[in-house]
Copies of this chain bind each other. A is one copy, B any other.
Amino acid sequence: MTRLAMPQKTGLCVSSTTSTRAFPLLERLQTYMPMTDDEAEFLRGLHEPRRKLPRRREIIVAGHRYDTLFILCEGFVSRYKVLPDGKRQVLNLGLPGDLMGFPSCLFQVAVNSVSSLTEVVVAPISFAKLFGMFTHFPRLAAALFWSSACESAMDGEHLVDLGRRSAYERLAHLILELLVRLRAAGLAGDLSYMLPLTQELIADVLGLSGPHINRMIRCLREEGLVTIEDHLVVVHDLASLSSLAGFEEGYLIPRPMPAFPSDAIV
């Protein structure tokens, strides 16, 4: 059984993971509302300076104090919490364009940890800059608010996963959510993407054990729904997978922001 990277198996379009969008937060917020030149310029400025960090580095450590958030410009991260007995729960996966450190850093001491899953590029944003944005670019602040609705909605679906879906359904749901999110980030083909997660980590996302994830992956393969090989996820039967998972992508796409009032409405 070949173990090669298997680039174009069936003509699948697998975008490179290093697809470098220079200003991912700008692109993200532009999907919610049109943006003036000033606003765009400000957002571009937030992406500097950038820091490159290696794989598996702790970026935010629960229990420490931070005065910045981070834009994740490139790469994947996970936000998680570790319990006293060593069990770990991943709260969400951060993809390029995501703002990290929310809500972890807004407490006396970070309540969650964040680690890089791949090599990443991040751009820190001080709280001072963040509040400057509320003062000088209220529409951007509102867009950020809007964007965070999307993250909360993802947390909500995640809760439904852990609380009420079977292991099989959870895995299917995760695969589909990542397909949609990565496509939006330009990091997935129509039905496939690179997923730099170990099975152990997937288990920690889904509140399951490593061995059981392995069983479920095999199951998906035997049913002809999905194959995962060398971190390449390929969806073979989107319809069946979606109905099995109870997946509806509405929660990933907030409605466009309403027109912004420039005058007082009090």
CB distance from A170 to the nearest CB of B (A): 10
A105 to B, closest residue via Cβ: B149
Indicate if the CB atoms of A207 and B164 lie closer than 8 Å: yes
A82-129 contacts to B (CB < 8 Å): 83-84, 87-89, 91, 102-104, 106-109, 111-112, 127-129
Beyond A163-B162, A164-B207, whether A135 also contacts B260 by CB under 8 A is yes
A254 at the interface (CB under 8 A from B): yes
Q: Are B265 and A129 in contact (CB under 8 A)?
A: yes
A106 contacts which chain B residues (CB < 8 A)?
A: 146, 149, 254-255
CB-CB nearest in chain B for A128: B265
CA distance A84 to B164 in the complex (A): 11
Is A35 an interface position by the 8 A CB rule? no
**Oligomeric state, in copies:** 2
Which of A19-27, A226-234, A245-253 is the contact stretch?
A245-253
Q: Does A150 contact B (CB under 8 A)?
A: yes
Set of chain B residues within 8 Å of A253, measured between Cβ atoms = 107-108
Q: Which of B45, B127, B135, B148 contacts A258 (CB 8 A)?
A: B127
Q: Is A153 an interface residue (CB 8 A)?
A: yes
Name the distance in Å between A17's Cβ and chain B's nearest Cβ. 26
